[in-house]
């Protein structure tokens, strides 16, 4: 029987492996969430996140998974009679478009083929032809291993559509790939911590612009738990609206300190190096990459199964021999691709070791 107390090492694109020293941080004695000690912890974490994300605006700490922010961004920042342009390039961005609808807002889709990026000119054409309050954009589409050209998109948005709000799912990109939040002109960007932050799941970090909070003031039906106005008031006091998952915030403090000591540019470079290795390995073994290399993610690599290996069998064999797992393709891509995550505290040496184990199964 599967032993949850001796789980496999995770090279899946979330949750990722959490190191023991990090886990220990989540076992610290708890604090009172309205006490001074908590305020110090919260303030230090928020300040570090501001540095890591290059922002002087709001940092919100949400005791929820990342998907909560899909909903929060819409319910806080889009009036019931406004329309959102949802850019869709894979399973997660598609799902967000559904969520917009489920929040009762009108949504138009800009769909591209899975594995292809969403380009600035495509967004510009859509926005120029209609009236939109906001766009949803995914930084790193985890179902396909695609990284969208966010800096090019930001340049276009600032030049041509400066009044359209920009909400970004950065769940599997944040920390592993650059985000200069203020320079990008984004309004909401969020990531759950079980991806490149390399913490256990159940918590989300968000950067939110002042104009997004300002807009929320006029939006009815924001609800309670995810209300940006209440969140902003609490954040100004280094608190959260409700009792947060304080263990996660302690873990975040540890991880953010580590990223700043390493230097965030070095953290990004470390992820790029693992991605370069993984892409090179795949190509040298006769596979192709699922995405054009220019748009391939630095936090996970999606490999096209051009050799026709039995993906499920290889995953099973590596698990049986090494108690380590990687991922099959997502949804319809199940046997057509496989995915190796290389983010957070996963090291280059570990990725090399895993690829060696895969080699042993597929015959080099
Ligand atoms: C993992 C993931 C999500 C879902 O995050 P949860 O924390 O499970 O809600 C959303 N978007 C992307 C891009 C992801 O990789």
Q: What is the pLDDT of residues 170-182, one digit of tens each?
A: 999 999 999 999 9
191 plus 48 within the same structural domain? yes
Going by C-beta distance under 8 Å and a sequence separation of 6 or more, which residues neighbour residue 319?
8, 325
Distance 363 CA to ligand 1 centre (A): 34
78 plus 129 within the same structural domain? yes
Model confidence at 364, in pLDDT bands (50, 70, 90)? confident
Q: Where among 261, 292, 320 does a domain terminate?
A: 261
pLDDT at position 14 over 80: yes
Name the residue range of residue 151's domain: 21-261
**Does residue 101 lie within any of the structural domains?**
yes
pLDDT at position 1 over 90: no
Measured CA to CA, the distance from residue 190 to residue 207 in angstroms comes to 6
Q: What are the tokens at 59?
A: 């940092």
Model confidence at 46, in pLDDT bands (50, 70, 90)? very high
Q: What are the tokens at 262?
A: 């390493």
Mutate to test the pocket of ligand 1, among 139, 167, 169 (most ligand atoms within 8 A of CB): 169
80 plus 217 within the same structural domain? yes
Q: What are the tokens at 196?
A: 């490149």
- What pTM was computed for the model? 0.98
* In the chain, % of residues over pLDDT 90: 99
Q: Where among 230, 246, 261 does a domain terminate?
A: 261
Reduced to 3 states (helix: H, G, I; strand: E, B; else coil), residue 302 is strand
Q: Residue range 169-194: average pLDDT?
A: 98
What's the pLDDT at 61? 98
Q: How distant, in Å, are the alpha carbons of 1, 42, 185, 312 from that of 206?
A: 38, 14, 14, 35
Q: Where among 261, 294, 310 does a domain terminate?
A: 261
Number of domains in the chain: 2
Strands 83-88 and 106-111: parallel
> Degrees (nearest 5) of the Cα angle 166, 170, 176?
135
185 plus 283 within the same structural domain? no
Strands 188-192 and 165-169: parallel
Q: Locate tokens 């597929």: which residue?
A: 362
**Does residue 54 lie within any of the structural domains?**
yes
- Does residue 67 line the site of ligand 1, with CB under 6 A? yes
193 plus 247 within the same structural domain? yes
Phi and psi angles of residue 222, each rounded to the nearest 5 degrees, phi first: -75, -15
Exposure string over 39-49, b if 16+ CB within 10 A, otherwise e: eebbebbbebb
**Does residue 323 lie within any of the structural domains?**
yes
Distance 179 CA to ligand 1 centre (A): 17
Reduced to 3 states (helix: H, G, I; strand: E, B; else coil), residue 146 is strand
Phi and psi angles of residue 294, each rounded to the nearest 5 degrees, phi first: -60, -30
């Amino acid at each position: 029987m599967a032993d949850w107390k001796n789980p496999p090492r995770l090279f899946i694109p979330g949750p990722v492996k959490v190191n023991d020293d990090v886990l220990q941080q989540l076992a610290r004695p708890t604090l009172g969430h309205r006490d001074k000690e908590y305020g110090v912890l919260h303030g230090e974490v928020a300040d570090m996140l501001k540095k890591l994300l290059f922002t002087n605006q709001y940092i919100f700490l949400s005791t929820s998974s990342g998907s909560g922010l899909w909903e929060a961004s819409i319910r806080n920042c889009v009036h019931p009679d406004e329309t959102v342009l949802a850019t869709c390039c894979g399973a997660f961005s598609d799902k967000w478009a559904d969520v917009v609808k489920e929040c009762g807002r009108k949504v138009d889709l800009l769909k591209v083929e899975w594995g292809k990026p969403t380009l600035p000119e495509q967004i510009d054409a859509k926005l120029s032809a209609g009236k939109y309050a906001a766009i949803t954009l995914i930084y790193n589409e985890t179902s396909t291993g695609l990284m969208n050209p966010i800096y090019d998109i930001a340049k276009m948005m600032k030049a041509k559509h400066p009044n359209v709000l920009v909400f970004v799912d950065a769940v599997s990109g944040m920390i592993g790939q650059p985000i200069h939040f203020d320079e990008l002109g984004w309004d909401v960007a969020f990531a759950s911590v079980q991806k490149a932050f390399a913490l256990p799941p159940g918590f989300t970090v968000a950067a939110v612009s002042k104009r997004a909070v300002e807009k929320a003031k006029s939006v009815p039906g924001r609800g309670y738990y995810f209300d940006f106005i209440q969140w902003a008031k609490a954040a100004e006091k280094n608190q959260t609206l409700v009792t947060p998952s304080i263990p996660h915030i302690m873990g975040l403090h540890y991880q953010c300190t580590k990223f700043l000591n390493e230097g965030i540019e070095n953290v990004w470079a470390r992820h790029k190096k693992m991605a370069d290795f993984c892409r090179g390995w795949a190509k040298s073994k006769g596979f192709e990459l699922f995405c054009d290399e220019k748009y391939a993610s630095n936090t996970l690599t999606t490999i096209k199964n051009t050799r026709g290996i039995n993906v499920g069998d290889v995953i099973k064999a590596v698990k049986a021999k090494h108690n380590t797992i990687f991922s099959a393709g997502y949804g319809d891509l199940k046997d057509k691709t496989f995915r190796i995550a290389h983010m957070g505290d996963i090291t280059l040496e570990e990725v090399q070791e895993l690829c060696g184990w895969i080699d042993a199964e597929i015959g080099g």
